[in-house]
Amino acid sequence: MNPHGRERLLLSAPAPIANVLVDVVVERARQQQLFDAGKLPFRVCDRATTNSTRLAVAAEEFGEIAHAINEGTVTVQERAHLREEVIQLAAVCVAWAEALNPKQEGPRA
Ligand SMILES: [Mg+2]
């Protein structure tokens, strides 16, 4: 699919999908801010980060999803927390995919 077709597809996504994608982008920005503030030692999106380390980060987020489920998913707050954890895992996976993007040249600035 050409770049314009991909952009058009993204812009025409149904609202439930668009809402999730926006939240993932917001979470990616939050992760970047944490790195910029020195609160994270590395970025998943960096070419220098190994796949083993990326997997460990994703596994940690996956575990936090399991923890949220074990804590409960009945109340609105519990479901919101579970959703936050799912979005965080999705954002980590996006960063990982960024690192594997064949169009990317070297580490991000
Ligand atoms: Mg988490």
Give the pLDDT score at 51: 98
7 domain-assigned: no
Give the pLDDT score at 102: 85
Q: How far is the CA of 49 from the centre of ligand 1 (A)?
A: 19
Query: Quick check: 52 and 41 in contact, CB under 8 A?
Result: no
pLDDT at 106 over 60: no
Residue-number span of the structural domain to which 46 is assigned: 15-100
Q: How far is the CA of 38 from the centre of ligand 1 (A)?
A: 18
Give the pLDDT score at 76: 98
38 domain-assigned: yes
Count the domains in the chain: 1
pLDDT at 105 over 70: no
Q: How far is the CA of 3 from the centre of ligand 1 (A)?
A: 32
56 domain-assigned: yes
Q: How far is the CA of 12 from the centre of ligand 1 (A)?
A: 29
Give the pLDDT score at 15: 95
Return phi, psi of residue 50, to 5°: -80, 160
70 domain-assigned: yes
Q: How far is the CA of 22 from the centre of ligand 1 (A)?
A: 17
4 domain-assigned: no
Q: How far is the CA of 4 from the centre of ligand 1 (A)?
A: 33
Give the pLDDT score at 1: 80
Instruction: Give dist(CA 103, CA 86) in Å, integer.
Output: 27
- Interacting residues of 76 by C-beta distance below 8 A, sequence separation 6+: none
79 domain-assigned: yes
**Rg of the chain in Å (alpha carbons):** 16
| Element containing residue 3 per DSSP (H, E) | helix 3-11
105 domain-assigned: no
pLDDT at 108 over 80: no
63 domain-assigned: yes
The per-residue pLDDT for range 13-68, each reduced to its tens digit, is 999 999 999 999 999 999 999 999 999 999 999 999 999 999 999 999 999 999 99
Give the pLDDT score at 2: 85
